[in-house]
Amino acid sequence: MRFHSSKTRDMKNFTKNLIFALLLLISGASLQAQSLSHSVIGSAGDFQTASNGQNLHWTIGEVAVSEYENDLSLWEGFHQMYYDLFLTPIWEVPLEIKLNVYPNPTAGWLRLDKETNEPLEVLVSNLLGQTMAKTTVTDLTTDFDLSPYPDGLYLLSVYQNHQLVSTFKINKQQ
């Protein structure tokens, strides 16, 4: 039988407590809390100025974070009445590529004429948006066989470098 002195027992308890405290401290240092930025994406909003110079700014769909009650009940949220508005203009240069698609209506074969040597992506889809055919056109004249598809309206969309150039409504009928 082994006997431990109270000093040895106290030292073991101290060591266990120290290890536990260090582990707790290390694990607590790696915890992160949620951070909310002060921004609002509301469905509507506006501001009014009264004749006495007071302003009212409001937003629908904002989360309320505090409440004030006097003669009126007002709730305050993240809505900020002063903000900087930066507009970034985007200029898209329209692509001017002359295209001709014929015959329309068609019973089966459709011809695409283009006046550029640049390759074009052609996408044929139905009115539900389902892709029926997709190809890259490099020749100045390309024929498409629509005879396997049922009669109806189709969209022939032409793209250059993933930018839409033109869309044609094609009527396929027997």
Question: What pLDDT is recorded for position 63?
Answer: 66
Residue 70 confidence class, pLDDT cut points 50, 70, 90: confident
Question: What pLDDT is recorded for position 125?
Answer: 93
* Mean pLDDT of the residues in the chain: 79
Beta strands 163-172 and 131-137, pairing class: unpaired
Q: pLDDT: is 167 or 73 the higher one?
A: 167
Q: Is the pLDDT reported for residue 157 higher than 90?
A: yes
CA dist., res. 31 & res. 7, Å (int): 36
Q: Is the pLDDT reported for residue 85 higher than 60?
A: no
State pTM to two decimals: 0.47
Q: Strand ranges (DSSP E) for 17-149?
A: 44-49, 55-60, 64-69, 73-77, 99-102, 109-114, 120-126, 131-137, 141-145
Residue 122 confidence class, pLDDT cut points 50, 70, 90: very high
CA dist., res. 69 & res. 78, Å (int): 18
What domains sit in the chain, N to C, each tagged with a CATH number?
44-77 (no CATH), 99-172 (2.60.40.3080)
Least confident of 31-40, 95-104, 117-126: 31-40
Residue 17 confidence class, pLDDT cut points 50, 70, 90: confident
Share of the chain above pLDDT 90, in %: 35
Q: Is the pLDDT reported for residue 82 higher than 60?
A: no
What residues contact residue 120 under an 8 Å CB cut-off, 6+ apart? Answer: 97, 114, 136, 137, 158, 159, 160, 165
pLDDT tens track for 29-69? 666 666 655 566 666 777 777 788 777 777 776 666 677 77
Q: Is the pLDDT reported for residue 143 higher than 90?
A: yes
Task: Specify whether the CB–CB gap between 172 and 144 falls below 8 A.
Answer: no
Nearest residue to 102 via CA among 168, 174, 149: 168
